[in-house]
Amino acid sequence: MKTNVPATLRIALLLGLLGATSVVAFEAGGFAYTKRVETNALSEPRPLAPAAGKFGFRRKLKVEQVQGSWLRVSDGPVAGWVFAGNLAEAMPPEIKGTDGLPLTASQTTASAAARPLTPEAEAYATRRNLGQARNDLNWLQYQCKTFTAADVDAYLKAQKKGEFQ
Amino acid sequence: MKTKLLLVVAASLAGAIFISVEGGPFDALKNALSSGSTPAPSQSQTDTFNAVGQMFKGAAGIGPEEEKKIGDSVALEIVGKYGGLIHDAVVLRRVNLVGRALARYSARPELNWRFGVLNSDTVNAFSAPDGWVFITRGLLATATNDDALAGILGHEIAHVTGRHALKIVEGTTFMSGLAGLAAARSNDVRTVNAQLQQFDLGIGKIASTILENGYSQPVEYEADHFGHDLAKVTGYAGGGLRSVLVLLRQRGGDPKKTFSTHPPLNDRIKRLPDEPATSPQ
């Protein structure tokens, strides 16, 4: 059934709902969700602690304990510590392809390897006379490939950011 | 003793609600995202949309492969319009380390995040689907510390995780162009051309929103909010973005060259919490 609520008001209400979920409180007894293909459950609340187990993608975890920026979480028999920034308050959405079928975790999140521009974008650059922009983006892709996850780890550690705060 | 822990929840979690949902307030927001000011297609273009689009109408959301095609093409438009990229490895390293530190704790940590610097003295930043983020040389010059840079990049990351650009075309006949391109083996030249035309029109619609009209103000404020939270959870000062906006307001200058595709500086400053601009050493 259609209502006569003005579009602007509907937008404001909707964004209000979105905003309300933007900052959340994790607390013992609540739940958190994984957002990576694999999330390590650490044996202690520190970044370099040994892993006690692993959680898969889109898993609902019970929050057992909160200690600073770290949460002790469990999923059945697997339990351990996870930095809060590595978890989400709500389950990540299930992504569907153009065929309407849900994509697997590996299809949705494990595709971050450096790659050239897609053939469709290459053809688009040709049609739109964006050859120089294409060269620039290919250069950027190449440069970004040289920044590894280890570089980011070292930066976080040196700057005391993320898990290293 | 604190028993609660504040944490960012990326815009994509809530934003994904829009996927495959038709009608009601969702359509209203989807229309607002595009600012409604994209030039209307010609009659022949409309006919093409209708004829070819019906083949695939009803197909579901935009998956990772489609997002790559869209993201790469929109990135081409951004780089093409804003003077190309600066080829400076030192500058690029700083921007990518801060950007990827933030991205690690975003709602989409495993996207292929890439951060580039546009060779333009205007003050602006942009993003495209699939993890492309760009900052102009002019804006980077105002980000004298990493807290400020993190605030700026956090805002753009929020646009990507919130799928704001994708929502402009999600559920439209543009999707048929994508589906057609994925299987462009047709011997029917007219069909292939129609699919390419649809694809180009869809990219043009996203690019005009990002580069000319801007997202709607509520979407921009949402990105400010999520970007602020992302910077904080990563360990940067919560006042980084606000400090940049205050500096730009103090400097004055040509509004057409300062965040021209974003809401007025005063309105953004008012909505951000007044927090320290730098993190403790």
Counted across chains A and B, CB pairs separated by less than 8 A come out at 250
Interface of B with A in 143-162 (CB under 8 A): 146
CATH topology of domain A25-92: SH3 type barrels. (2.30.30)
Asked if residue B106 is part of any domain, the answer here is yes
- pLDDT digits 0-9 by tens, B18-37: 222 333 333 333 333 433 23
Asked if residue B164 is part of any domain, the answer here is yes
Residue B97: what pLDDT? 98
The Cα-based distances of A110 to A54, A147, B64, B110, B143 in angstroms read 16, 17, 10, 7, 32
B249 lies in which domain range?
Answer: 62-170+216-271
Asked if residue B29 is part of any domain, the answer here is no
Residue A100: what pLDDT? 62
Question: Does position B17 have pLDDT exceeding 50, yes or no?
Answer: no
- pLDDT digits 0-9 by tens, B183-193: 555 667 888 88
Say if B281 is an interface residue toward chain A (CB within 8 Å): no
- pLDDT digits 0-9 by tens, B128-162: 999 999 999 999 999 999 999 999 999 999 999 99
Domain span(s) for CATH 2.30.30.40 in chain A = 25-92
Average pLDDT, chain B: 80
Number of domains chain B is built from: 1
ipTM of the complex in this document: 0.79
Residues B247 and B263: their CA atoms lie apart, in Å, by 16
User: Of B120, B58, B128, B114, nearest to B86 (Cα)?
Assistant: B120
pLDDT band for position A114 (cuts 50, 70, 90): low
Say if B196 is an interface residue toward chain A (CB within 8 Å): yes
Handedness of CA B51, B52, B57, B61 (dihedral sign): negative
Residues B60 and B122: their CA atoms lie apart, in Å, by 38
- The shortest CB-CB distance from A133 to any of B17, B84, B225 is to B84
Interface of B with A in 25-44 (CB under 8 A): 25-26, 28-29, 31-32
User: Of B113, B122, B116, nearest to B158 (Cα)?
Assistant: B113
Say if A52 is an interface residue toward chain B (CB within 8 Å): no
Q: Which residues of A touch B108 (CB under 8 A)?
A: 35, 109
Asked if residue B137 is part of any domain, the answer here is yes
Asked if residue B72 is part of any domain, the answer here is yes
Nearest CA in chain B to A161: B235
- Strand ranges (E), chain B: 5-8, 114-118, 125-128, 132-136
Residue B5: what pLDDT? 47
Asked if residue B253 is part of any domain, the answer here is yes
Asked if residue B177 is part of any domain, the answer here is no
Asked if residue B68 is part of any domain, the answer here is yes
Say if A61 is an interface residue toward chain B (CB within 8 Å): no
Q: Which residues of B touch A128 (CB under 8 A)?
A: 76-77, 80, 200
Structure-block tokens of residue A27: 């607390």
